[in-house]
Amino acid sequence: MNSKVKDYLVLFGVAGVVVALDQWTKWWVRENIEFSGMWLPDSMTWLFPYARIVHWHNSGAAFGMFQNGNLVFTILAFIVIGAIIYYFPQVESGDWTLKVAMGLQLAGASGNLIDRLMRGKVTDFISVGVFPVFNIADASISVGVAVLLLGVWLKERQDRLAKAVEGNKSESVEKSIQVESPVNSAEES
Local confidence pLDDT in tens for the 189 residues of the chain: 777 788 888 899 999 999 999 999 999 999 999 998 988 888 888 887 788 899 998 877 665 666 777 888 899 999 999 999 999 988 888 888 999 999 999 999 999 999 999 999 999 999 998 888 899 999 999 999 999 999 999 989 988 888 888 777 666 656 666 655 555 555 555
> How many Å from the N-terminal Cα to the C-terminal Cα in the chain?
66
pTM reported for the whole predicted model: 0.78
DSSP 8-state class, residue 188: H
- Annotated catalytic residue 138: yes
- Distance between CA atoms of 167 and 164, rounded to whole angstroms? 5
> Residue 160 CA to chain centroid, in angstroms?
24
- Annotated catalytic residue 159: no
pLDDT of residue 115: 95
pLDDT of residue 69: 72
- Distance between CA atoms of 95 and 11, rounded to whole angstroms? 13
Residues in a beta bridge with 123: 57
Catalytic residue, candidates 7, 22, 42, 124: 124
Catalytic residue, candidates 95, 115, 138, 159: 138
Residues in a beta bridge with 54: 38
